[in-house]
């Protein structure tokens, strides 16, 4: 069987969200199924880390897709032409984007459709593109994978997609996240001069992530706990529309206790292990990978009660209202100042993390692709 794959999201060296999903799922699929031939199409020079095996052909086509006009050109001209040339049995896109005039059976993975609920979170041009073409991608795809039941429900509600067309396959957790022995952590702390307790946020920084509220809640906690040495550590690139976040840090009376690392070049799992708690204030997620990664590391998770979070976190997170500074400040207070709650969250998190596996996710995605590919023969 010949399988064509949209690999434009595989951009080295830093993989976020959908890029991480694409890498984890496709790399396993290629390696576990040498009997098939995979064609991965990229929009820029291919890094060696994405050359997954002898049965995998990495093909650069078109121009880098840095603007909606180029998205459309790449998908509906370059990719369509390339797919027609190789005549695959099935096409898989690990994101929602797909060519509209494709004559090959297709499966897309939808992580979320936040643009249908929050119209100001993206750049104007991106927002217009998503709202115009997303309904078409979903209606022309033969099958759809979603990473949560929450995302499945949003597709049914917004686009009137048949539930029978959608399969829920949860994301996995990288093997890079696990509890670190105390002595090893002590060495890491000394090497990195980590002497104070800290809250940790991991993820890109843009309006949906709700970082302004986190900064305000951190300040509220510090005002209530005058002697607290707690710090706030933000790890993740400044993505877009982040001016208000920078302003919030600058005007916070505890700004000296807030540290932003951008891309973190050290051992993120060890940093996660060192954190007193992990906090994820995002307003809207289709899954929320950092949540389950923190759980796998054994770090107590403080998570907003929005979108897919309660489904993914289940009973292993401390939830708060993402529209309330007071709610998050209280959550921080409860978790940071209560060892019993920390222990309970740590134990529940480690158990919940066992429910997510990239091996299982990749296997389920492959089975879905194989089923559609066989039907087309």
Domain boundaries, the chain: 2-172+357-375, 182-353
Q: What is the pLDDT of residue 377?
A: 62
**Which option is the CATH number for 182-353: 3.40.50.1860, 3.40.50.2000, 3.30.1370.10, 3.30.230.70?**
3.40.50.2000
Q: What is the pLDDT of residue 161?
A: 96
Q: What is the pLDDT of residue 240?
A: 81
Q: What is the pLDDT of residue 237?
A: 84
- Closest by alpha carbon to 336, among 185, 210, 221, 169? 221
Sign of torsion over alpha carbons 97, 12, 80, 22: negative
Average pLDDT of the residues in 43-68: 93
On the question of a common fold for 2-172+357-375 and 182-353, the answer reads yes
Least confident of 95-99, 157-161, 164-168, 264-268: 264-268
- Closest by alpha carbon to 120, among 206, 18, 8? 206
pLDDT at position 350 over 90:
yes
Q: What is the pLDDT of residue 214?
A: 97
Alpha carbons 72 and 77: distance in angstroms, whole number = 8
Would you say 75 and 89 are in contact if contact means Cβ atoms under 8 Å apart? Answer: no
Alpha carbons 362 and 341: distance in angstroms, whole number = 34
pLDDT at position 376 over 70:
no
pLDDT at position 123 over 80:
yes
Would you say 289 and 344 are in contact if contact means Cβ atoms under 8 Å apart? Answer: no
Residue 343: CB partners within 8 Å, gap ≥ 6?
A: none
Average pLDDT of the residues in 115-127: 90
Answering whether pTM is above 0.75, one says yes
Encode burial over 81-91: b for 16+ CB neighbours within 10 A, e otherwise. Answer: ebbeeeebbbb
CATH number of 2-172+357-375: 3.40.50.2000
- Closest by alpha carbon to 311, among 112, 119, 160? 112
Alpha carbons 214 and 328: distance in angstroms, whole number = 7
Strand pairing of 231-235 and 106-110? unpaired
Least confident of 257-271, 314-328, 340-354: 257-271
Average pLDDT of the residues in 145-166: 97
Average pLDDT of the residues in 87-93: 96
């Amino acid at each position: 069987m010949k399988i064509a794959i949209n690999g434009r999201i595989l951009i080295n060296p830093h993989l976020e969200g959908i890029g991480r999903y694409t890498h984890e799922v496709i790399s396993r699929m290629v390696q576990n199924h040498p009997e098939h031939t995979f064609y991965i199409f990229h929009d820029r020079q291919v890094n060696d880390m994405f050359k997954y095996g002898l049965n995998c052909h990495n093909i650069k086509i078109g121009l880098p897709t840095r603007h909606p006009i180029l998205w459309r050109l790449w998908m509906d001209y370059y990719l369509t032409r390339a797919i027609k040339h190789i005549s695959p049995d099935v096409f898989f896109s690990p994101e929602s984007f797909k060519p509209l005039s494709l004559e090959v059976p297709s499966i897309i993975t939808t992580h979320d459709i936040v643009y249908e609920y929050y119209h100001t979170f993206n750049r104007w041009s991106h927002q217009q593109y998503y709202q115009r073409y997303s309904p078409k991608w979903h209606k022309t795809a033969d099958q759809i994978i979603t990473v949560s039941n929450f995302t499945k429900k949003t597709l049914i509600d917004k686009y009137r997609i048949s539930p029978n067309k959608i399969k829920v396959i949860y994301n996995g957790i990288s093997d890079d996240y696990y509890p670190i022995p105390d002595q090893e952590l002590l060495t890491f702390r000394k090497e990195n001069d980590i002497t104070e307790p800290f809250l940790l946020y991991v993820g890109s920084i843009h309006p949906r992530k709700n970082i302004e509220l986190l900064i305000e809640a951190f300040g509220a906690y510090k005002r209530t706990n005058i002697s607290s040495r707690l710090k706030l550590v933000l790890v993740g690139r400044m993505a877009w529309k982040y001016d208000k976040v920078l302003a919030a840090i600058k005007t916070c009376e505890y700004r000296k206790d807030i540290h932003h690392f951008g891309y973190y070049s050290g051992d993120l799992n060890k940093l996660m292990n060192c954190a007193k708690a992990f906090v994820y204030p995002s307003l809207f997620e289709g899954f929320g990978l950092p949540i389950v990664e923190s759980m796998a590391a054994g770090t107590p998770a403080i998570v907003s009660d929005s979108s897919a979070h309660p489904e993914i976190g289940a009973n292993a997170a401390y939830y708060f209202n993402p529209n309330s500074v007071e709610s998050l400040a209280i959550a921080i207070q409860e978790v940071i100042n209560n060892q019993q709650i920390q222990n309970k969250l740590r134990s529940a998190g480690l158990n919940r993390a066992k429910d997510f596996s990239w091996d299982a996710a990749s296997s389920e995605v492959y089975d879905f692709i194989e089923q559609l590919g066989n039907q087309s023969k």
